[in-house]
A and B are shown apart, each in its own frame.
Chain A
Amino acid sequence: MNVLTVEKLSKAFGGVQAVGGVSFAVAPGERVALIGPNGAGKTTLFNCINGQLRPDDGRIEMSGRDVTGQAPHRIWRHGVGRTFQITATFASMTVAENIQVALASADGAAKGLGRRLSARYRAEAEVLIELVGLAARTEDPAAELPYGDLKRLELAVAMTNEPSLLLMDEPTAGMAADARGGMMDLVDVMVAERGVAVLFTEHDMDVVFGHADRVIVLDRGQIIAEGSPDEIRGDATVRAVYLGTFDEATV
Chain B
Amino acid sequence: MSFIVVQAITGLASAASLFLIAVGLSIVFGVTRVVNFAHGSLYMLGAYLAFSFTAAFGDTFFGYLAAILLAAVVVGGLGAVMETSLLRRIYRAPELFQLLATFGVVLVVQDLTRMIWGADDLFAPRMPGLDGAINIFGHAVPEYDLFLIATAFVVLGGLWLLFRHTRFGVLVRAATEDREMVAALGIDQRWLFTGAFILGAALAGLGGALQIPRQAASLSMDLNIIVDAFVVVVVGGMGSIMGAFVAAVLISELLAFGVVIFPQITLVLIFAVMAVTLVLKPSGLFGRPEFTTQEDRRNPDPPLRAGDGLSRIFWWGLLVAGVAAPLVIGDFAIIVLTEIAILALFAASLHFLLWGGGLITFGHAAYFGLGAYGSGLAVFHLSLGMAPALLLAPLAGAAGALLFGWFCVRLSGIYMAMLTLAFAQIAWSAAFQWGGFTGGDNGILGVWPSDWASDPFVFYYLAFAVCAAVIWGLRHTVFSPFGYTLRATRDSALRSAAIGVDVTRHRWLAFTLAGAAAGVAGGFFAFAKGSVFPEVLFVSTSVDGLVMVLLGGVQSLAGPILGAIALTEIETELTRLTDLWQLCLGILIILLVVVLPHGLAGLSAFMRRRQP
Q: Which residues of A contact B (CB under 8 A)?
A: 50, 71-74, 76-77, 81-82, 84, 88-94, 97, 100-102, 104-106, 109-118, 120, 141, 143, 154, 157-158, 160-161
In the complex, the answer to whether A116 meets B479 with C-beta atoms within 8 Å is yes
Name which residue of chain A comes closest to B555, CB basis.
A92
Given contacts A141-B300, A161-B499, contact A93 B487 (CB under 8 A): yes
Of B485, B492, B497, the contact of A89 (CB 8 Å cutoff): B492
- Using an 8 Å CB-CB cutoff, how does the interface string of B452-481 with A read, 1 for contact, 0 for none? 000000000000000000000000110111
In the complex, the answer to whether B500 meets A76 with C-beta atoms within 8 Å is yes
Smallest beta-carbon distance A23→chain B, Å: 25
Given contacts A92-B300, A92-B303, contact A157 B499 (CB under 8 A): yes
In the complex, the answer to whether A94 meets B499 with C-beta atoms within 8 Å is no
In the complex, the answer to whether B497 meets A73 with C-beta atoms within 8 Å is yes
Name which residue of chain A comes closest to B497, CB basis.
A72
The residues in B between 475 and 518 inclusive whose CB is less than 8 angstroms from any CB of A are 476-477, 479-485, 487-488, 490-492, 494-503, 506, 509
Cα distance, A79 to B217, chains bound together (Å) = 63
In the complex, the answer to whether A93 meets B484 with C-beta atoms within 8 Å is yes
Of B483, B499, B503, the contact of A106 (CB 8 Å cutoff): B499
In the complex, the answer to whether B303 meets A141 with C-beta atoms within 8 Å is yes
Residues of B within 8 Å of A120, CB to CB, are 481
In the complex, the answer to whether B480 meets A89 with C-beta atoms within 8 Å is no
In the complex, the answer to whether B498 meets A82 with C-beta atoms within 8 Å is yes
Smallest beta-carbon distance B193→chain A, Å: 30
- Using an 8 Å CB-CB cutoff, how does the interface string of B289-324 with A read, 1 for contact, 0 for none? 000000001001111101000000000000000000
Of A81, A102, A143, A154, the contact of B300 (CB 8 Å cutoff): A143
In the complex, the answer to whether A104 meets B481 with C-beta atoms within 8 Å is yes
With A110-B481, A161-B499 known, 17 other A-B pairs at CB within 8 A are A50-B498, A72-B497, A76-B499, A84-B495, A88-B495, A88-B498, A90-B495, A92-B297, A93-B484, A93-B488, A94-B303, A100-B484, A106-B500, A110-B501, A113-B480, A114-B481, A154-B495
Residues of A within 8 Å of B297, CB to CB, are 91-92
Cα distance, A50 to B506, chains bound together (Å) = 20
Question: Could you name 19 residue pairs across A and B whose Cβ atoms are closer than 8 Å?
Answer: A71-B497, A72-B497, A73-B496, A76-B500, A88-B492, A89-B491, A89-B495, A90-B492, A91-B300, A93-B303, A100-B484, A106-B499, A106-B500, A110-B485, A111-B481, A111-B482, A112-B481, A112-B482, A115-B480
In the complex, the answer to whether A72 meets B477 with C-beta atoms within 8 Å is no
Smallest beta-carbon distance A190→chain B, Å: 16
Residues of B within 8 Å of A104, CB to CB, are 481, 484-485
In the complex, the answer to whether B481 meets A117 with C-beta atoms within 8 Å is yes
In the complex, the answer to whether A88 meets B494 with C-beta atoms within 8 Å is yes
In the complex, the answer to whether A92 meets B491 with C-beta atoms within 8 Å is yes
Residues of A within 8 Å of B485, CB to CB, are 101, 104-105, 110-111
Most interface-central of B304, B481, B492 (chain A CB within 10 A): B481
Of A50, A114, A141, A160, the contact of B499 (CB 8 Å cutoff): A160
Chain B interface size band reads 20 to 34
Residues of A within 8 Å of B479, CB to CB, are 116-118
Residues of A within 8 Å of B502, CB to CB, are 71, 73
Smallest beta-carbon distance A27→chain B, Å: 23
Cα distance, A143 to B492, chains bound together (Å) = 12
State the 4 A-B residue pairs at the shortest beta-carbon distance, nearest first: A91-B300, A88-B495, A76-B500, A90-B491
Of B301, B482, B497, the contact of A113 (CB 8 Å cutoff): B482
Most interface-central of B482, B487, B506 (chain A CB within 10 A): B482
Cα distance, A68 to B304, chains bound together (Å) = 39
Name which residue of chain B comes closest to A88, CB basis.
B495
In the complex, the answer to whether A102 meets B497 with C-beta atoms within 8 Å is no
In the complex, the answer to whether A109 meets B306 with C-beta atoms within 8 Å is no
Given contacts A71-B497, A101-B499, A110-B506, contact A117 B303 (CB under 8 A): no
The total number of A-B Cβ pairs within 8 Å is 118
In the complex, the answer to whether B480 meets A73 with C-beta atoms within 8 Å is no
Cα distance, A188 to B265, chains bound together (Å) = 64
In the complex, the answer to whether A73 meets B484 with C-beta atoms within 8 Å is no
In the complex, the answer to whether B491 meets A91 with C-beta atoms within 8 Å is yes
Residues of B within 8 Å of A160, CB to CB, are 499
Residues of B within 8 Å of A154, CB to CB, are 495
Cα distance, A105 to B500, chains bound together (Å) = 6
Residues of A within 8 Å of B498, CB to CB, are 50, 72-73, 76, 81-82, 84, 88, 158
Name which residue of chain A comes closest to B494, CB basis.
A88
Cα distance, A45 to B503, chains bound together (Å) = 23
Cα distance, A101 to B500, chains bound together (Å) = 11
In the complex, the answer to whether A105 meets B491 with C-beta atoms within 8 Å is no
Cα distance, A93 to B490, chains bound together (Å) = 11
Smallest beta-carbon distance B113→chain A, Å: 42
In the complex, the answer to whether A112 meets B491 with C-beta atoms within 8 Å is no
In the complex, the answer to whether B484 meets A101 with C-beta atoms within 8 Å is yes
Smallest beta-carbon distance A153→chain B, Å: 11
Name which residue of chain B comes closest to A141, CB basis.
B303
Smallest beta-carbon distance A42→chain B, Å: 18
In the complex, the answer to whether A101 meets B481 with C-beta atoms within 8 Å is yes
In the complex, the answer to whether A111 meets B484 with C-beta atoms within 8 Å is no
Cα distance, A109 to B498, chains bound together (Å) = 16
Residues of B within 8 Å of A157, CB to CB, are 495, 499
Of A81, A90, A106, A114, the contact of B488 (CB 8 Å cutoff): A90
Smallest beta-carbon distance A104→chain B, Å: 4
- Using an 8 Å CB-CB cutoff, how does the interface string of B209-253 with A read, 1 for contact, 0 for none? 000000000000000000000000000000000000000000000
Residues of A within 8 Å of B302, CB to CB, are 92, 141
Given contacts A104-B481, A115-B480, contact A90 B487 (CB under 8 A): yes
Given contacts A73-B501, A76-B498, A93-B491, contact A116 B303 (CB under 8 A): no
In the complex, the answer to whether B488 meets A112 with C-beta atoms within 8 Å is no
Smallest beta-carbon distance B584→chain A, Å: 34
Smallest beta-carbon distance B260→chain A, Å: 43
Residues of A within 8 Å of B306, CB to CB, are 116, 118
Name which residue of chain B comes closest to A94, CB basis.
B303
Smallest beta-carbon distance A112→chain B, Å: 4
- Using an 8 Å CB-CB cutoff, how does the interface string of B246-271 with A read, 1 for contact, 0 for none? 00000000000000000000000000
Name which residue of chain B comes closest to A121, CB basis.
B481
Most interface-central of A50, A73, A76, A106 (chain B CB within 10 A): A73
Cα distance, A101 to B506, chains bound together (Å) = 14
Residues of A within 8 Å of B495, CB to CB, are 84, 88-90, 154, 157
Cα distance, A111 to B484, chains bound together (Å) = 9
Residues of B within 8 Å of A97, CB to CB, are 303, 484
Name which residue of chain A comes closest to B473, CB basis.
A113
Smallest beta-carbon distance B374→chain A, Å: 23
Smallest beta-carbon distance B351→chain A, Å: 15
Residues of A within 8 Å of B476, CB to CB, are 113, 116
- Using an 8 Å CB-CB cutoff, how does the interface string of B104-119 with A read, 1 for contact, 0 for none? 0000000000000000
Cα distance, A237 to B551, chains bound together (Å) = 66
Name which residue of chain B comes closest to A90, CB basis.
B491
Cα distance, A111 to B476, chains bound together (Å) = 13
Given contacts A101-B485, A111-B509, A115-B480, contact A92 B301 (CB under 8 A): yes
In the complex, the answer to whether A161 meets B494 with C-beta atoms within 8 Å is no
Given contacts A89-B495, A92-B302, contact A117 B500 (CB under 8 A): no
